Structure 1
Amino acid sequence: MAALSVAIGAQHGLRSSGAARPAAPARTQPDESLSKSLTGCFALGAVAAVHRKRSLTLREWRGERTMEINYYQLDAMKASNIRKKTETMLEEGAAVLKGCAEESAQQKMLLLLSSPAVKELLVAMSRLPVFSHEFGLAFKDDLTVLSVLKQLKYFWSLSQSHLAILLERLAEQLRLEHAAAFQSLLQELAESDDHVVAIKDLKMPEAVRAFYGENAIHLEAADPHGVFPTSIYRQCDGLTLATEDSATIESVMSTTITTTIKIARDVLQPSNRLLFDVYKPLGRCVAVVDDKVEAHFGADLEKYFEINGIEFVKLVFSGNEVDKNLSNVEQILLALKENWQARHEPVLIVGGGVIADVAGMACALYSRNTPYVMLCTSLVAGIDAGPSPRVCCNGFSYKNLYGAYHPPALTITDRGFWRTMHPGQLRHGVAEIIKVAAMADLHLFELMEKWGKETVATNFGTLGGLDDPAFQEVCDLIIGKAMEGYVRAEYGNLWETHQCRPHAYGHTWSPGYELPSGMLHGHAVGTCMGFGAYLSYKEGWLSEVDMHRVLKVISDCELALWHPVMEDTVSVWKAQIGIVEKRGGNLCAPIPRALGESGYLNSLPERLLHQRMHEYQELCSKYPREGRGVQEHSVDVGLEDPMSKKDSIRDADRCVVTPMDRVVVQLGAASQSTSGAGARAIGEAARIVDGIDEMVTKYSSQPSEALKNVSKRTAMTNPLWAELMGQGNTSRLMEAEMISGQAEAQLLQLLLKLSGGKDVLDIGTFTGYSSLAMAEAIPEDGTVVTLEREQEAKDMAKANWIGSPHASKIESLVGEAHDLLICLAAEKTSFDLVFLDVDKPGYFGLYQMLMDKNLLKVKGLLVVDNVMYKGEELSGTELTKNGQGAQALNQGLLDDPRVQQEHPEHQRDHATTYVYVSDAGHSQMSR
């Protein structure tokens, strides 16, 4: 439980403070029988005067100096009586259920609600400050009971099955012999069609409804949270004071949020109740799932909710750092709206740290406050981002520029999910453990010194050591202590109202270089922690031995201590300036004062920063790998570089070198302008983009007359292609735009002339432009073999070649490329250059055949068209089959050690070209 300052709710009571106070009107009171039934269990607190019409005048307050507005008036509580009456309620309730075994589930619930002990407890709980410090401390020795009682306050708005779940959990915890009766009620309700009906909507006997209804009227004034909650996970309070004429008003506002953290195992086993207890009472679950988690656990999620009879809506989104932007947040918001997400229903977020941040931020924005449950599937999420009250996304190349404070209602960490994590992705999460250990928990630090390497090597005991109970206990202990240390540091300062935040160790200078460097978050934090430890040593806080202990545990876990990006100390200084602004004018850099103890450095002048950074670099050079981390970059673990997609197209510091740089800057300026200047900037950017192709053509070598004729004839073919398609003479609709352009043909000719190639394979003839261009560039004894699926296209190409002195070098074949390549391979044919320009879904398969069948010579060139197909991957839109085909080839080539690749820039997508150079070091490539 923690207090947060936010806007308050409706006014409930007024009173004055001063020399003479008018008598308060009598308070609204439930009937006498209700009050008597509560006597001895709870001492009813005084309820202030309630002025429903709010028609106070200055005359009524004449002579008073200050008006005091009271918002909520809750009852006092006695913990011993609460427990005693809870036990009585369970005994009486179990007896009621046993006595009506033949009745329907709903009738049993009605009889239960009519029981005097049940009525007394539920009404009393609705009036208590269940989120208060004193209430929490009263039940600190039984957190299960505490969790249930906090929810029972809202019984009037809960569903039947939710109330049954709470009573069952109480029975299991306090009176095991009574649990069976409540378990049976829950099972019957869960199988009924109306288990999601709220208690307040049940058709109760008149006397019972009057009893509860009178309490509801009371709560409307005393504490609306108990009768009309927005969600059951937060409450507010406030004090407002006003002068007599209301010219000056002083207020203190607060919000109290309740949250639960569970470290569990086998969460997706259908028998596990953690998710069932939240979503069964609601009847459905809307989940935002990380796309990588979906691949591994999507089926298990669906099975869990299907077996438990809960409607499941799964929304899959990217959980990569590159997509941690406002656009992704907006897409999640839209998906929630399209699925009619309600404000009181917790969204289920399943994934790692990035999806926790972006989906959590979407929940903070959705209806201004929608609760969520965080099911953590990564180490970073499990001990840091998952339970964090801070949700955020990147912007303008700055880490976590946008954000909100919105903790989950429930966080579940199950390290069983970590068995599927890439070792590099798990490794970078270890930094979050080290930061807590170094700053707040010496025992945890010692555990990481001893076991850090092994936890990384075994994905925290999920890939090895499963038969070693002692090691499994160590893994649980490390995770538990890291979680407790994080929560201890974070939950008393959710809104960052002060900057003494030990868990920000490693987060002072690294935000300035993490994204530009492409580092994984944990590696960036590792470099910053190491630098912080060195600064602590220079301050005289850490001993030299302890400073090296910190650096060694970071290095032993294969995290980075140093990265070349840190050599740019000017940028690091800029990062420090930014962090001072963010921290309210203070540097307040958390660094260890001693191992396991927090200290804060508040001054580091620019000159000294440069000096210390250079000293630290020298120190790191003596560590393994010269201080570098293992798989320290996002791309090293299969993720996109976080800078490959920028949230904003404007970058004021961008150096304009290429036309695309100018377009980015122009469009960025336009996006910030609300005047005619914006339209002019967009127009200029459009002219640049449209003119690139023309300029490339203008300054490239000019084509031969024969090629010019092919281009002219092709330009007039579109009506013919439509006619041929309609007649069934071609397998698909072709179009003139499929021709290779002048710039592309000149590139092919240049490559052939430079390489001296003479045997060429052209996969995709179309109207013959590329074949003829390459025939012009090879020696007289050279050959261009061209493959085409459509007979009509082959015939047109042959007609286009007539009159060219190079036509005799071209051999044209018709058929499916796959079959024709098999025939060429059988003839032991190989080529100096292969130009691939056919259907994109078949690209990768054809590439594999070229390589496996030795159709491409050692030192040969493979040139591929359309590898950036329509910019689909750049735009972030869902890829078409053609886009998927291009992406599959790009990734396959990147992963193939037999080749090297380059990608010359060109504006037109169909002329964007990759050149792949086969590696002579692989003998299987030779003929």
Structure 2
Amino acid sequence: MTVQPESTSMSTPLRPRGPDIRTPHRTWQVSTSKAVSYEVVLSPGLLDRSNPTLATAGVAREQRPGRRLVVVDANVHALHGARIGDYFTQQAVDHEVFVVDAYESVKSMETVFEIVSAMDAFGISRRHEPVIAVGGGVLTDLVGLATSLYRRSTPYLRVPTTLIGMVDAGIGAKTGVNFRQHKNRLGTYHPSAATLDDRDFLDTLSPRHLRNGLAEILKMAVVKDAVLFGHLETHGSRLVEERMQTAGSADGGTVAEDVMARAIHSMLEELQPNLWEHDLQRLVDFGHSFSPVVEMAALPELLHGEAVCIDMAFSAVLAHRRGLLGRRDLERILRVMDALALPTWHPVCTPDLMARALADTVRHRDGRQLLPLPVGIGQACFVNDISRTELDTALAALPDLVAGLGSLAATSAHRGA
């Protein structure tokens, strides 16, 4: 998929407003736009010593090899730090590695300032030395915000090492950190020059974190891509067991590759025409209406994708009770969640908390609910009239619906961790 710029870089002549520039009250209207273009690349073997992709991405030919500040998640550094250092050495790139503990509880401005301090100490060039972020969605969000603030805009590259980063957190324009008890309340729009996805990183990912990413893939499958849903329905458990790798896969990695490609394509197809979110009616908000409050209330028990899955299960029940989603399709969705050992409920999900979550979403969406609900599998609609009674009834019905599937573990966020 080719992502075209949302707008063309251009400006109109600066014109004084009003009948006469000589009048005492003078007004000038400035109108301009900025072209946006970035790449998301499925790039196997990214750390192979002879592969120049990472060393040259985002840099003009005449400025290579140059210098790089590489910001790496602490867990990733423990697993891949030696290879990362060796790679840049072999590519003759003058580099420094800055290691960050990146997890939801420290996704804050304090951590952003630590990254900014490292950038300042390294002496980042404002335009020609992109910072490289290697880690999960939390790490890439932190680096994205830091680079957007440093000298008002510094380029960066994203190398997601988690599935959720590869298909969701690492491919859009948004950056963000938490503020008080609010998920991603502070942030900017600052897309990276490129996102480089290498499934090799998933080989060291835990089953729980793979499922966490599959939850975001399931999001797009339910509301946009029935074929993708079929892949998860048929092969979901195997994808986790095989860690979405090609080597050792029963089908040579064909399904894993198609799942990745479809998930990324469907996400970018929704993001590209509305990159700055001028339109708040967003299909990609499925699973993200209640989950921000649920996730923060349950920290550190729930991962992001797990909270999203709870939101999706709840929203699917709302859709079913409204006649938008048939019983068979509802059961198919819940069974996929169960097969992936994803949670559909958590003890923090009280009626009051879910009502508060929806109220917070209404504020976030400019006074409207704009709640995406599935219509069958592969389509969705938006509603604006969910009542408190509906919320309470759907929440009460959810455990019985799950129990009716014979699931013993759908309420556990930690099965197979």
Q: 1:565 to 1:256 in 2, by over 3 A?
A: same
> Is residue 432 from structure 1 mapped to residue 216 from structure 2 by the alignment?
yes
Q: Residues 311 and 534 from structure 1, CA distance in 2 versus in 1: closer, same or farther, beyond 3 angstroms?
A: same
Report the equivalent of 2:328.
545
2:38 aligned with 1:259 = yes
Partner Cα separation in structure 2 for residue 606 and residue 470 of structure 1:
47
Q: Does the 8 Å CA contact 2:65/2:91 hold for their aligned counterparts?
A: no
Within 1, Cα distance between the matches of 2:54 and 2:11?
30
1:534 match: 317
Q: Distance in 1 between matches of 2:196 and 2:183?
A: 26
Contact 1:266 1:414 in 2 (8 A): yes
* Cα distance in 1 between the residues matched to 2:196 and 2:12: 32
Q: Which amino acid aligns with 2:48?
A: Q
SS state at 2:342 partner? coil
Structure showing greater Rg: 1
Matched, 1:313 2:96: yes
Instruction: Report what 2:197 is aligned to.
Output: 413
Matched, 1:579 2:361: yes
Task: Look up the match of 1:621.
Answer: 403
| Alignment counterpart, residue 489 of structure 1, candidates 243, 246, 270 | 270
CA shift at 1:593, angstroms? 2.1
Query: SS in structure 1 opposite 2:188?
Result: strand
Q: Partner of 1:423 in structure 2?
A: 207
Matches of 1:394 and 1:336 in 2, distance apart?
A: 21
SS of equivalent residue, structure 2 residue 178: strand
Give the TM-score taking structure 1 as reference length.
Answer: 0.42
How far apart, in 2, do the equivalents of 1:468 and 1:428 lie? 20
C-alpha deviation, 1:243, in angstroms: 2.9
Question: In the aligned structure 2, how far is the partner of 1:289 from the partner of 1:237?
Answer: 39
Which amino acid letter does the alignment assign opposite residue 375 of structure 2?
R
Please state how far the C-alpha of 1:336 moved relative to its aligned partner: 0.6
Whole-angstrom distance in 1 between the partners of 2:377 and 2:236: 17
How far off is 1:251 after superposition?
4.8
The amino acid across from 1:295 in the alignment is A
What SS does structure 2 have at the residue aligned with 1:600? Answer: strand
Q: Which runs of 5+ in 1 are unaligned?
A: 5-131, 133-234, 638-927
Cα pair 2:70 2:134 within 8 Å, conserved: yes
Instruction: Work out the CA distance in 2 between the residues paired with 1:236 and 1:328.
Output: 36
- Whether the aligned pair in 1 keeps the contact of 2:71 and 2:99 (CA below 8 Å) is yes
Report whether the alignment pairs 1:277 with 2:280: no
1:498 is matched with which residue?
Answer: 279
Matched, 1:590 2:372: yes
SS of the aligned residue for 1:391 comes to coil
CA distance in 2: counterparts of 1:253 and 1:543, whole angstroms = 48
2:167 aligned to 377, 383, 394, which one?
Answer: 383
Which amino acid letter does the alignment assign opposite residue 379 of structure 1?
L
Q: Mapping of 1:103-502 within 5 angstroms?
A: 132=8, 235=9, 237-238=11-12, 241=15, 242-245=17-20, 247-278=26-57, 281-344=64-127, 345-461=129-245, 466-468=247-249, 470-502=251-283
- 1:162-192 deviations in Å (ceiling 9; x for gaps): xxxxxxxxxxxxxxxxxxxxxxxxxxxxxxx
- C-alpha displacement of 1:620: 2.5
Aligned-CA RMSD value: 1.9
Deviation string for 1:89-139 (max 9, x for gaps)? xxxxxxxxxxxxxxxxxxxxxxxxxxxxxxxxxxxxxxxxxxx5xxxxxxx
Distance 1:597 1:339 in 2: 48
More helix by share: 1
1:605 match:
387
**Shift in Å at residue 630 of structure 1?**
4.5
Q: How do 1:93-108 residues align onto structure 2 when only pairs under 5 Å count?
A: none
Query: Which whole-Å CA distance do the structure 1 matches of 2:318 and 2:71 have between them?
Result: 41
User: How many Å separate the matches in 1 of 2:184 and 2:229?
Assistant: 28
The counterpart of 2:304, out of the listed 495, 498, 521, is 521
Q: 2:368 & 2:204 partners in 1: Cα distance?
A: 41
State the SS of the aligned residue for 1:256. coil
- For residues 213 and 11 of structure 2, what CA distance do their matches in structure 1 show? 37
**Cα distance in 2 between the residues matched to 1:239 and 1:483:** 39
* 8 A contact 2:18–2:27 mirrored in 1: yes
Report the secondary structure of 1:483's partner residue: helix
Q: Distance in 2 between matches of 1:424 and 1:479?
A: 18
| 1:670-685 equivalences in 2 (<5 Å) | none
How far residue 256 of structure 1 moved from its aligned partner, in angstroms, is 1.3
State the alpha-carbon separation in 2 of the partners of residues 564 and 488 from structure 1: 35
Given that 1:237 and 1:255 are in contact with CA atoms closer than 8 Å, whether structure 2 keeps it comes out as no
Which sits farther off after the overlay, 588-597 or 434-443? Answer: 588-597
What are the superposed Cα offsets for residues 898-924 of structure 1, whole Å, 9 maximum, x if unpaired? xxxxxxxxxxxxxxxxxxxxxxxxxxx
Map residues 616-655 of structure 1 onto 2, 5 A cutoff: 616-623=398-405, 624-625=407-408, 627-631=410-414
Q: What is the identity, as a one-letter code, of the residue corresponding to 1:563?
A: H
1:375 offset after TM fit, Å?
A: 0.8
- Shift of the 286–451 alpha-carbon distance from structure 1 to 2, 3 Å rule, reads same
Shift of 1:331: 0.8
User: What's 1:759 paired with?
Assistant: none
**Which stretch has the larger CA shift, 402-411 or 585-594?**
585-594
Instruction: Answer yes or no: is the 8 Å Cα contact 2:329–2:377 preserved in 1.
Output: yes
User: Any idea what the Cα deviations from partners look like across 1:711-749, whole Å, max 9, x if unmatched?
Assistant: xxxxxxxxxxxxxxxxxxxxxxxxxxxxxxxxxxxxxxx
Residue 594 of structure 1 deviates from its aligned partner by 2.7
Q: Structure 2 residue aligned with 1:3, among 1, 6, 27?
A: 6
Report 1 or 2 for greater relative contact order, CA contacts < 8 Å, sequence distance ≥ 6: 2
Query: Contact 2:56 / 2:65 at 8 angstroms: preserved in 1?
Result: no
Residues 238, 254 of structure 1: 8 Å contact kept = no
Cα 1:555–1:258 change in 2 (3 A) is: same
Alpha-carbon distance in 2 for matches of 1:256, 1:617: 48
Distance 2:189 2:177 in 1: 12
* Separation of aligned partners in 1, 2:376 and 2:197: 30
* Aligned pairs (5 A) from 1:768-787: none
TM superposition shift of 1:410: 0.5
In structure 2, relative to structure 1, the CA distance for the partners of 1:622 and 1:315 (3 Å cut) is same
Q: Which amino acid letter does the alignment assign opposite residue 218 of structure 2? A: I
Structure 1's 420 and 612: CA in aligned 2 closer, same or farther, altered over 3 A? same
Structure 2 stretches lacking a partner, 5+ long: none
1:562/1:620 contact within 8 Å kept: no
Residue 339 of structure 1 aligns to which amino acid in structure 2?
F
Tell me, what secondary structure is at the counterpart of 1:507? coil
Give distance in 2, aligned partners of 1:574 and 1:629.
23
Shift of 1:608: 2.2
Q: Percent identity?
A: 29
The one-letter amino acid paired with 1:3 is E
Assess if the C-alpha contact under 8 Å between 2:341 and 2:409 holds in 1.
Answer: no
SS in 2 for 1:575: helix
What is the count of residue pairs matched by the alignment? 401
Partner SS, residue 312 of structure 1:
strand
**Is the CA contact (8 Å cut-off) linking 1:389 and 1:407 kept in structure 2?**
yes
Structure 1 residue 626: deviation in Å?
5.4
Q: Which amino acid aligns with 1:268?
A: L
Amino acid paired to 1:546: D
Alignment partner of 1:599: what SS?
strand
- Report the Cα distance in structure 2 between the residues aligned to 1:308 and 1:408, rounded to whole angstroms: 22
